[in-house]
A and B are shown apart, each in its own frame.
Chain A
Amino acid sequence: MAVASSDTAIRSSKVTRTFIYLFLLLFALFYLMPLGIMLVNSLKPLSEITAGGMIAMPNEWTIEPWLSAWSTAQIGVEPTGLRPYFINSIAMAVPAVAISTVAGALNGYVLTKWHFRGATWIFGLLLFSCFIPFQIVLIPMARILGLLEIAGTTYGLILVHVVYGIGFSTLYFRNYYAAFPTELVRAAQIDGAGFFQIFWRIMLPSSGPIIAVCCIWQFTNIWNDFLFGASFASGDAAPMTVALNNLVNSSTGERPYNVHFAGAIMAAAPTLLVYIVAGRYFVRGLMAGSVKG
């Protein structure tokens, strides 16, 4: 986002400004409402929700729904709660983020500083591959995972996320390194530095911000993915999003809404935390992933 060029503010009367503030506050409320409702209802007994008090504060506060969602709720066959699936998601996201980021950094470095014929073509193909609808690869991917005997496992999901994460991570580093002075690379070369030495000593030390952006983007996407998780890792290996959907959409009898809300917050917590801690990089990632293609 561009920095502090002064606002394109217009002259406006008191009435207009009041209206503007009202409008903005109303929308702030609209955006906060679902999170607020989830939070409030995850802390009240079920009877209070079914009695029709979804928006009211709890009369009786309880953390029971949270405990249930975490360790005893029925998901699929077993009453295991969401905990094992939360662990699945971490076991899937951490390596997938790490691998795709490293690959993206190296690719970006090659594509900007070691030009060769066809590099632009490769970049164009990578660029388009970021935006395909994943439905087009579901069937062959299922076949390949089956052939590799990692269908239905976390390893399979790691592979899938690395494969389809490389496009974006390469884009980020490529755009970032494109602005990096090539003279520095050349000078180092003349001094006898090799390919990896240049990468390690010159490129990486100045790559902090883009590494942050890339990791946050990949983590958010991978953690929030549902399509791949639902297609390739049902059952015990399911990630958090799939488990949450099973919890919410397959419970029979009286629905434990409060447990659903607690579970939803758990599924949202990691990316929400990242957003709160590193919102600046999150926004930069969003913008780079869209505006710059």
Chain B
Amino acid sequence: MAATDPMLDSGADFRTRLQAWLPKIVLAPSFAVMVIFVYGFIAFTLYLSFTDSRMLPSYDLVGWQNYERLFRVRQWDTAIINLGIFAGLYIVISTIIGLLLAIFLDQKIRGEGLLRPIFLYPMALSFIVTGTAWKWILDPAIGLETTMHRWGFENFQFDWIKDSDMAIYTIVIAAVWQSSGFVMAMFLAGLRGIDNEILKAAQMDGASNFQMYRRIILPQLRPAFLSAFVILSHLAIKSYDLVVAMTDGGPGTSTWLPALFMYEYTFTRNQMGIGASSAVIMLMTIAAIMVPYLYAELKEQK
């Protein structure tokens, strides 16, 4: 419903006309910025992904060549497999921990006001800070392993961060630490929104706690599950800082993720065409998740 319907009849003077145009004038700079810096840039990168750009952008088209090469490069394979492992574990573990914490916190816990902010504060930190902390904690030379040895557990071994088969799992540990509290907050909000009358009725009918959660509470949390999935997968696909800070992609290239791949190929290895095509794949992956979600959210808001 429009708040204004400018009367642009012949009598309207300049001031009135200006007033009528003001909203659009005010919005215009942001609109222009968005069109150029977001959609224009996306188009530009898309174009570059079909060119033979190396150190500098080139405008000579080479068709699908970059994409074909991209999928033959071993590091891209590594990055995609790592993303699968990382995103899968990260989403599942964060969701389980977040859900359990929310359910437990919701049991009229004394000190909830103290616990909740403790669970959530990692979200306020930079991934670089988080990565630095976990890098040294998991470093066998000074961190957890050495400490356990000092405490008398001589056989304790935890050197995943130095092991190219296991290093990606240490990234999962740090990422789960960072985000599970946030998932908890989303589920807690969902739980607090559930109507207690239904639960009381179910209780009167003699439903067990387990039944209540399985049949009544969890189904009602579906929107929270969906949001958690969308946000976490979005975070996982974009993950860059955490890997840089913790392992810098190593040992070797064993912890490369697509975001790291894109950066390395574009700015370090002078393969801009391939870098651009990897960025396009990243965008498509995120769009496949975000577009339907945002569309549904928008429709709901109307």
Interface residues of A (CB under 8 A from B): 1-12, 17, 20-21, 23-24, 27-28, 30-35, 37-38, 41, 49-50, 52-56, 103, 106-107, 110-111, 113-116, 120, 122-129, 131-141, 143-144, 163-164, 166-167, 170, 178, 182, 185-186, 189, 194-196, 220, 223-227, 230-231, 241, 244-245, 248-249, 257, 260-261, 263-265, 267-268, 271-272, 274-275, 279, 282-283, 286-287, 290-293
Q: How far is the CA of A70 from the CA of B150 in the complex (A)?
A: 32
Please state if B100 and A274 are interface contacts (CB–CB under 8 Å). Answer: no
Please state if A136 and B177 are interface contacts (CB–CB under 8 Å). Answer: no
Please state if B192 and A1 are interface contacts (CB–CB under 8 Å). Answer: yes
Check if B160 is an interface residue, CB within 8 A of chain A.
Answer: no
Please state if A2 and B125 are interface contacts (CB–CB under 8 Å). Answer: no
Please state if B124 and A272 are interface contacts (CB–CB under 8 Å). Answer: yes
CB-CB under 8 A for A283 and B132, given A23-B100, A50-B142: no
CB-CB under 8 A for A133 and B118, given A54-B143, A55-B147, A116-B23: no
Check if B39 is an interface residue, CB within 8 A of chain A.
Answer: yes
Check if B248 is an interface residue, CB within 8 A of chain A.
Answer: yes
Q: Report B186-233 residues with CB < 8 Å from chain A CB.
A: 186, 188-189, 191-194, 196, 199, 203, 209, 212-213, 217, 223-224, 227, 230-231
Interface residues of B (CB under 8 A from A): 1-4, 19, 22-24, 26-27, 29-31, 33-34, 37-42, 44-45, 48, 57, 97, 100-101, 104-109, 115, 117-130, 132-137, 142-144, 146-147, 149-150, 177, 181-182, 185-186, 188-189, 191-194, 196, 199, 203, 209, 212-213, 217, 223-224, 227, 230-231, 234, 237-238, 240-241, 244-245, 248, 258-259, 262-263, 266-267, 272, 275-276, 278-280, 282-283, 286-287, 290-291, 293-294, 297-298, 301
Q: In the complex, which of the residues B117, B227, B241, B279 contacts A136, with contact meaning CB atoms closer than 8 Å?
A: B279
Q: How far is the CA of A268 from the CA of B105 in the complex (A)?
A: 27
Q: How far is the CA of A139 from the CA of B101 in the complex (A)?
A: 41
Q: How far is the CA of A103 from the CA of B272 in the complex (A)?
A: 34
From A55, A135, A272, name the one whose CB has the most chain B CB atoms within 10 angstroms: A135
Please state if A2 and B31 are interface contacts (CB–CB under 8 Å). Answer: no
Q: In the complex, which of the residues B122, B135, B150, B266 contacts A52, with contact meaning CB atoms closer than 8 Å?
A: B150
Please state if B3 and A185 are interface contacts (CB–CB under 8 Å). Answer: yes
Beyond A31-B121, A264-B133, 17 additional pairs, beta carbon < 8 A: A2-B192, A4-B192, A31-B119, A37-B136, A52-B150, A103-B29, A103-B30, A116-B24, A133-B282, A134-B238, A138-B262, A141-B41, A241-B129, A264-B129, A265-B129, A286-B182, A286-B185
Chain A residues closer than 8 Å to B294, beta-carbon distance: 124, 127-128, 131, 293
What are 21 pairs between A and B in contact, CB < 8 Å? Answer: A1-B185, A28-B118, A34-B133, A106-B27, A110-B23, A110-B26, A135-B238, A135-B259, A136-B282, A137-B41, A137-B42, A143-B57, A224-B125, A227-B240, A248-B135, A249-B245, A261-B133, A271-B126, A290-B227, A290-B231, A292-B297
Q: How far is the CA of A75 from the CA of B263 in the complex (A)?
A: 22
Please state if A30 and B126 are interface contacts (CB–CB under 8 Å). Answer: no
Chain B residues closer than 8 Å to A136, beta-carbon distance: 41-42, 45, 279-280, 282-283
Please state if A8 and B106 are interface contacts (CB–CB under 8 Å). Answer: yes
Chain B residues closer than 8 Å to A249, beta-carbon distance: 244-245, 248
Q: In the complex, which of the residues B39, B44, B133, B217 contacts A37, with contact meaning CB atoms closer than 8 Å?
A: B133
Please state if B45 and A5 are interface contacts (CB–CB under 8 Å). Answer: no
Closest chain A CB from B277 CB (angstroms) = 11
Please state if B293 and A293 are interface contacts (CB–CB under 8 Å). Answer: yes
CB-CB under 8 A for A53 and B104, given A140-B45, A293-B293: no
Nearest chain A residue, comparing its CB with the CB of B230: A290
CB-CB under 8 A for A30 and B150, given A9-B108, A24-B101, A131-B290: no
Please state if A195 and B19 are interface contacts (CB–CB under 8 Å). Answer: yes
Q: How far is the CA of A249 from the CA of B143 in the complex (A)?
A: 17
CB-CB under 8 A for A275 and B132, given A8-B106, A129-B38, A135-B282: no
Q: How far is the CA of A282 from the CA of B120 in the complex (A)?
A: 10
Q: How far is the CA of A263 from the CA of B213 in the complex (A)?
A: 45
